[in-house]
Amino acid sequence: MASGNYSFPKTIEGKIFINNKFVKPHSTVTSTVYNGKDNSIVTDKHVICDRDDVNLAVAAARKALNGSWSEFTGLQRARCLYKLADLLEQNAEEAAYYESICSGRIMDQLRTEVPWIADVIRYYAGWADKLEGEYLPDDDGFVKIVRHEPVGVCGGITPWNGPLMVFVMKGAPALAVGNTFVLKPPEKSPLSSLFAASLLSQAGFPEGVFNVVTGDGNTGALISGHMEIDMVSFTGSVEIGRTIAAAANASNMKRVTLELGGKSPAIIFPDADLPSAIQWASKGVTMNAGQVCVAPSRVYVHESIADELIAGVKTEFERLGSTLGLDPQQYGTTFGPVIDKSQFDRIYTYIEEGKKDATLLTGGYKHDKPGNYIPPTLFTDPDPTASIYRDEIFGPVLCIRRFTEEEEAIKLANDTSYGLAAYIFTEDTKRIFRVTKQLQAGIVGVNALNMLFPNAPFGGYKSSGVGKELGKYALRDYSATKTIYIKSVDNTA
């Protein structure tokens, strides 16, 4: 069954979202958005917003922060968020379609993901009227009150591999606390974010609470260096994350949260449920055509089961490879293209280098039909210095190495500058606690991969970033702590 051919993008082409309306921007510079399945043009009017556009959005957010939005109670904020969640869920297929035509993501996954995204909004709606402060006793002659207040105007810069999800992971906790927001969606996949923004007025949010400026890295730089933005949250590469942090510090020392990807390991022990491990390992690095920050792109398997696991993964990869070229906007498609020709070329550069540094078991060939389709590609025994083994490729490329001892596997897993996610497969309870404690990652999955939960924090160690998304921990990043002290009345006189 094909998904609907919605007309919404044409109604907002060349516009940005400020004060609950799509408006004509100051900038006349545009870029082109392509559909990864055939490189056809989705729109050639994607606006690259300039300083005037960003200033207008920030001014709207500042006005709402100091005005109408500041008068909303926690319960009123919650009602807006609950309504937004309902509207998004009611329009799930449409939202999924706009994301799919830009990113190449498959509709079958998106139609289940959008309701999950709505539940993330509901999770934060539930927090909006439950944000507590503290009272500290006056045994030293002073009453102390600790308040948690909004940080102020927040900026968000989101990635192209899951823009609607990250829109909500940043926006929902920010709004629950009482902040206002300026979002820059990814230039390669902006439409699902613009569609979500179109629902804000219906949900009851006042003008200026949430604004969207489109653009590229130059627009993102204007946000991260803006003197009237109090916080910026970014998801993307380590290189750009460092640039954003530097710009934030050089401007007004704004708060920064960064989610910067990973090169996640999965360790498969000899007592693992092997058929399950094969399925998870195959799915984990091929979901979204491998364009997933938590993808298990390094697998370490015990030598006693290595041949069987490698054969199973190879079979799964070849099964998916046989479906190359199917339409991601068609329900039933299980494997789509990477987002664009630039990403396609980048991944193949890694694959060609990998052929020199490892054993290629399957994949690695060029698909001879239109679109940016890359077959799932499996390497074994990579050189420890190989780029396919060290770098985040962001494509359907997997490296498998054998290990003998548990300590060796842990050392190999931790031998990376990243620390976002790690995974183990074992039925040994003692090993689960022993190994998960030693893995240097912010998320550790046991007998499952690539999972996110609205109520559990997401974020990594080391170069994978700072700050947390999801769970109550994200609320801390969007809150400013204020201590008020009051001298006790002296009744002895």
**Which tokens belong to 116?**
């999950």
Rounded-to-integer distance, Cα 388 and Cα 285, Å: 13
Amino acid 361 reads: L
CA-closest candidate to residue 57, choices 92, 102, 22, 99: 22
> Does the annotation mark 318 as catalytic?
no
Rounded-to-integer distance, Cα 356 and Cα 358, Å: 6
**Which tokens belong to 169?**
């992971």
Residue 214 · residue 224 · CB < 8 Å? no
Name, in order, each residue with C-beta under 8 angstroms of 76's C-beta and a sequence gap of 6 or more.
Answer: none
Name, in order, each residue with C-beta under 8 angstroms of 27's C-beta and a sequence gap of 6 or more.
Answer: 47, 48, 49, 50, 52, 53, 215
DSSP element (H, E) containing 359: strand 359-362
> Which 8-state DSSP code applies to residue 180?
E
Coil, helix or strand for 278?
helix
**Which tokens belong to 491?**
């009744």
Rounded-to-integer distance, Cα 429 and Cα 234, Å: 37
> Which 8-state DSSP code applies to residue 469?
B
3-state helix, strand, coil in the chain (%, to 5): 40, 20, 40
**What's the distance, CA 29 to chain centroid?**
27
Task: Say which residue the tokens 């539930």 belong to.
Answer: 126
Rounded-to-integer distance, Cα 332 and Cα 106, Å: 9
From the list 113, 259, 316, 392, the catalytic residue is 259
- Catalytic residues, by residue number, are 259
